[in-house]
Chains A and B, each alone.
Chain A
């Protein structure tokens, strides 16, 4: 049993809770727990047990903040619900930091499952994206957060764009389609012809879901790289209790296995030789870099000051062997072996 297996079991449990949890905790609980969960758990899924902060934030920008600008009323009073949502988000976020992405998010888990499916079919995993591509992609999540979660909803509230664009991020979010489909509800996988904006957003959402599903089979976590939740997490990441810590050794310069293991292609885990806290803005705290670090205690996953997992040469060897065995067993390899046996 290694960290990746434990993590996948936790992801599975979180997926069941977030997609079907109301069956256990009751139909109305999602309206009650927080509405500020730090993962993409969808309010459109009527069986969910909790839902993410992005939908109330968009509603607040549209119906409160934007409306207050249009009416000329108190902006501070209009921002109060947003501050409460962000406060609740922060309380939950402090507990797990960005591990909400790597351990709890249903869309993150779906992408990993698609990756596993791809491997079992025999699709070769892509190598790390080139550094230039990674650098180009990184600002997209901030643009999505600023424009789709805050900007356009405010414009809708002011009345400068159609009100159907009041929650534009949810309209394109692949998790909305994933979690509703998973709960047997096909109402979110649609082409909405009510307005030009709704048509573009609904088609973009469905396209993005299809794109995320197929890209996940070849590369790790394609959607996570542009997810606004990752950007929200990045803002508060210094406040979370879970940290990725690095104790640099001279061997780090030649190794680089941590960067190769990183699903988000964060090369800085390898190249940065000065920082001790290496919880970079794209990190999802999945812990793979710690698992694949061959030098004792160089990388550590810590909860507050307590190490949860430390890099260890014995663990590294066992983990690498397990990975090789996992990758070797696939349909394509089986088919090839069968043909050769004939």
Chain B
């Protein structure tokens, strides 16, 4: 599941367009930050899902699920929406038991902190609301990378997002974000549960930012300040 036209500081309140791939027969649910839920109309033929804004801000959850006799498939997508203050912390939505096998971002991105290449992204795998240890998890990106991992005793798994933007232009806005999908599968008494969580990630700013240059400028400023000491007045002061 992925979004279009959302990200950065886009504060529009137009319906968000989300897309569901291979989602035939899936039931779509929309969760508000206060855990109120509503069913969404089925996805269109091209996978587009119309999501009407809730009118409140903060993270919402789009959940697509379908199940049969042999298993259950779930796709999760956390969507930030603008509106009146919801008065809720994302912790409430993240902590709620929504589906048997769940992948939970730990944490979700917030202002000035987003998923970027070469930086760690942490997720928690839960089964029936409890951390699931030793669970194989994989992360694939729309740029074709695959990273595999396994959850620890607390159900947490950390991936360093692959440096897989083929061409990086200077500046965040010059680089369209890519998508990653974290997925895991668990079998219990022959019943297979598959869950995916998708989100967007960005090119690492280190491509157009130099820490060395920043440190040099800081040192120049510091030395410049010391040079100014002599020009400051001397004498008594309380």
Chain A residues in the interface with B (C-beta under 8 A): 26-32, 43-44, 46, 55, 59, 62-64, 123-130, 163-164, 166, 177, 186-187, 189-195, 198, 202-203, 206-215, 218-219, 257, 260-261, 288, 292, 320, 323
Contacts and interface: CB of A to CB of B under 8 A. Distances in A.
Nearest to B80: A31
Considering the complex of A and B, which 6 residue pairs feature the smallest CB-CB distances, nearest first? Answer: A210-B221, A191-B213, A214-B225, A206-B217, A194-B171, A127-B235
Contact of B173 (A44, A164, A189, A214): A164
A260 B211 contact: no
B111 A43 contact: yes
B171 A189 contact: no
B231 to A, nearest CB: 9
B214 A202 contact: yes
B45 interface: no
Given A128-B233, A211-B225, A260-B237, A28 B217 contact: no
B211 A190 contact: yes
Nearest to A292: B238
A213 B222 contact: yes
B69 interface: no
Contacts of B225: 210-215, 218
Contact of A59 (B9, B107, B208, B229): B9
B219 A127 contact: no
Contacts of B91: 26, 28
Nearest to A319: B238
Contacts of B226: 214
Given A28-B107, A163-B173, A257-B238, 18 more contacts: A28-B90, A30-B111, A43-B111, A126-B232, A127-B232, A166-B9, A189-B211, A190-B211, A190-B214, A194-B208, A195-B171, A210-B217, A210-B219, A210-B221, A211-B222, A211-B225, A213-B221, A261-B237
Contacts of A30: 110-111
A27 B110 contact: yes
Interface string B200-238: 000001001111111111111111111011001111111
Contacts of A203: 213, 217
B170 interface: yes
Given A31-B111, A215-B228, A207 B11 contact: no
